[in-house]
Amino acid sequence: MRTLLVLLVACSSPQQHAAPTSNTIVRNDAVVISLDRTVCLGWCPEYKVTITGTGHVVYSGDSYVKNKGPVEASISTAKVDELVRAFEEAKFTTFPSNMEGNITDVPTLHLTYRDKTVTYSDAVMVRGSPDEARRGAVDKLADKVDRAVDIEQWIGTAAEREAIYWKDVERRVRESCARRPTKQQQDVCLENELPDPPKKP
């Protein structure tokens, strides 16, 4: 009888399951990571890319990009897991939400992991400081996101984005000069304002 009672108690005891860790990926379409980059005074690309736990990718571009989209694609869940590990190892959720720097005319990025968003731009820093380490980590994580989705397939190479930029500058100058009242004034405007094409290396 005692043996039977022990067996009944063992069978009725609830099973203990390991609690999910912070880097556990739930395979659904909830957005896990997003990267949003803004323009600068040059040809910095402006775009946003999001990645879900299943590897579903959505890209949309705005300024100085080859493809404005929107585009949907996918990456492997192994790449998603690799990104998650990188964010967890960097302790991204402990970073300040506002990491905007003190250098003007540079692009800003908004990097989101789960429910944490960090707004970042370049800054003058004290070498070896904790702030420098965190900023370096944000830069590296953003670059990892770009590489994971092969971002250049949509935004183009640096040379392609530069060409897009100068074409846009030319368009805006021609539109501005066209508002001059006479043909002679328009021609003088174009001669003075139209930029020379960039020299090829």
pTM as predicted: 0.79
| Tokens standing for residue 162 | 């530069």
Q: How far is CA 88 from CA 8, 25, 55, 116, 169, in A?
A: 43, 12, 18, 12, 42
**Boundaries of every domain in the chain:** 31-155, 158-193
| pLDDT tens per residue, range 2-39 | 443 333 333 344 444 444 455 566 566 677 999 999 99
| pLDDT tens per residue, range 125-182 | 545 566 778 888 999 999 999 999 999 999 999 999 999 989 988 999 999 999 999 9
The model's confidence at residue 104, banded by pLDDT at 50, 70 and 90, is confident
CA distance linking residue 115 with residue 193, whole number of Å? 47
| pLDDT tens per residue, range 53-81 | 999 999 999 999 999 999 999 999 999 99
What is the fold, at CATH topology level, of the domain defined by 31-155? Mago nashi protein (3.30.1560)
Q: pLDDT value at position 28?
A: 61
**Do residues 29 and 54 lie in contact, with contact meaning Cβ atoms separated by under 8 Å?**
yes
Work out the angle at residue 55's Cα, subtended by the Cα atoms of residues 50 and 56, and round it to the nearest 5 degrees. Answer: 55
